[in-house]
């Protein structure tokens, strides 16, 4: 894989595209679209917090470059990942004569990316998609790899499609306006990538005294490093048949916790951080990692402002039941991504429910 200072490349059967991470990247959107061979109308889908901040200037820039550009803002938050919102977006696109050569621009965080990606994958049986992530979490994780989807009352992301974007353009300047809690939540995915695949990145993260002070190229370099972990895994396993399941570390319990809380109470990254800690405890009980690993990971998560304790009142039976509805379940067996050491992880489908229950019961005690 070749890349310049700010470019990375995804190459899968479903599509090949650049991932650009740079300060001020959105300034060059029209040129990037042309370079990607996109000539049709641009349909910006964003949320009501991000849209007023960035969409008007983007629409103006696109129109000045000769593109037809439209915009739509959905309510911010996880509740927009719903089929009723998808239906409204179909009405908007089809009612305004969307064409097969057009492009959906997903401007926002993971919720917008998942939602807009699903709409792009399905309207007119699929049109081009470009991700314009504005959160740390989306830049290192959800805007890469082609997963799209919405939630179902019985679980997160259970309705969706694989639809690779034509480009992911991450402008790190947008992180300066991100609420501090959202920024902290994004570090969970960065730390996850370090744990499963990049021990040197983990050490680098430990050495950063104040992550909130990271700016400019120093921040972009960390994001590219974390994004490269995901890209390398996606390049080898686009459709999550093997290695890509490692990216679910922290997510099996994280998704269960998110759903049990009611989407929106905990941010996705916060739930993943709690899930990482609990799943590390499962790995420790199975003899896969030493207690020192659990403590070191917990120390780093906390240093980046992330929670590791279960919210009070979490019902253990409900959490276990939700893991059994996870998309990665095969023949009734939960497939867990579990750490082996800093920088390495594996997938296990032989984790006894008694071990999971013991970890959760101890966590709910205090």
* Catalytic residue positions, numbered: 125, 147, 189, 230, 240, 244, 248, 251, 255, 268
Specify whether the CB–CB gap between 347 and 286 falls below 8 A. Answer: no
Q: How far is CA 138 from the centre of its chain?
A: 5
Q: Which helix (H) or strand (E) holds 156?
A: strand 155-162
Rounded CA gap, 336 and 282, in Å?
Answer: 10
Cα dihedral 47, 16, 326, 46 in deg (nearest 10): 0
Give which of 120, 358, 141, 154 is closest to 255, Cα–Cα: 154
Whose tokens are 């099996």? That residue is 252
Specify whether the CB–CB gap between 42 and 69 falls below 8 A. Answer: yes
Instruction: Classify 221 as helix, strand or coil.
Output: helix
Q: How far is CA 310 from CA 197, 274, 363, in A?
A: 26, 7, 7
User: Cα Rg for the chain, rounded, in angstroms?
Assistant: 20
**And the tokens for 329?**
């379940």
């Amino acid at each position: 894989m070749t890349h310049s200072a700010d470019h990375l490349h995804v190459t899968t059967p479903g599509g090949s595209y650049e991932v650009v991470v740079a300060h001020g990247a959105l300034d060059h959107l029209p040129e990037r679209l042309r370079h990607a061979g996109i000539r049709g109308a641009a349909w910006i889908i964003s949320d009501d917090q991000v849209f007023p901040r960035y969409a008007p200037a983007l629409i103006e820039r696109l129109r000045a470059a000769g593109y037809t550009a439209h915009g739509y803002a959905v309510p911010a938050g996880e509740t927009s990942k719903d089929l009723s919102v998808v239906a409204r977006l179909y009405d908007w696109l089809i009612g305004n004569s969307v064409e097969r050569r057009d492009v959906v621009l997903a401007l926002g965080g993971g919720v917008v990316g998942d939602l807009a990606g699903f709409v792009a994958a399905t309207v007119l049986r699929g049109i081009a998609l470009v991700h314009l992530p504005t959160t740390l979490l989306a830049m290192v994780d959800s805007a890469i790899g082609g997963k799209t989807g919405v939630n179902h009352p019985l679980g997160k992301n259970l309705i969706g499609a694989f639809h690779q974007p034509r480009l992911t353009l991450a402008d790190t300047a947008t992180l300066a306006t991100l609420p501090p809690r959202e920024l902290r939540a994004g570090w969970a995915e960065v730390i996850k990538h370090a744990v499963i695949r990049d021990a040197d990145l983990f050490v680098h993260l430990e050495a950063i005294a104040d992550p909130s002070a990271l700016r400019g190229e120093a921040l972009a370099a960390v994001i590219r490093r974390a994004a490269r972990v995901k890209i390398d895994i996606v390049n080898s396993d686009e459709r999550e048949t093997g290695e890509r399941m490692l990216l679910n570390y922290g997510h099996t319990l994280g998704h269960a916790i998110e759903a049990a809380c009611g989407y929106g109470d905990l941010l996705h990254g916060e739930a993943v951080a709690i899930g990482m800690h609990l799943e590390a405890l499962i790995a420790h009980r199975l003899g896969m990692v030493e207690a020192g690993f659990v403590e070191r990971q917990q120390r780093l998560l906390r240093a980046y402002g992330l929670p590791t304790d279960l919210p009070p009142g979490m019902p253990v039976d409900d959490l276990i039941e939700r893991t059994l509805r996870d998309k990665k379940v095969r023949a009734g067996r939960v497939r867990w991504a579990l750490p082996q050491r800093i920088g390495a992880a594996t997938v296990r489908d032989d984790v006894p429910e008694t071990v999971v229950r013991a970890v959760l019961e101890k966590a709910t005690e205090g």
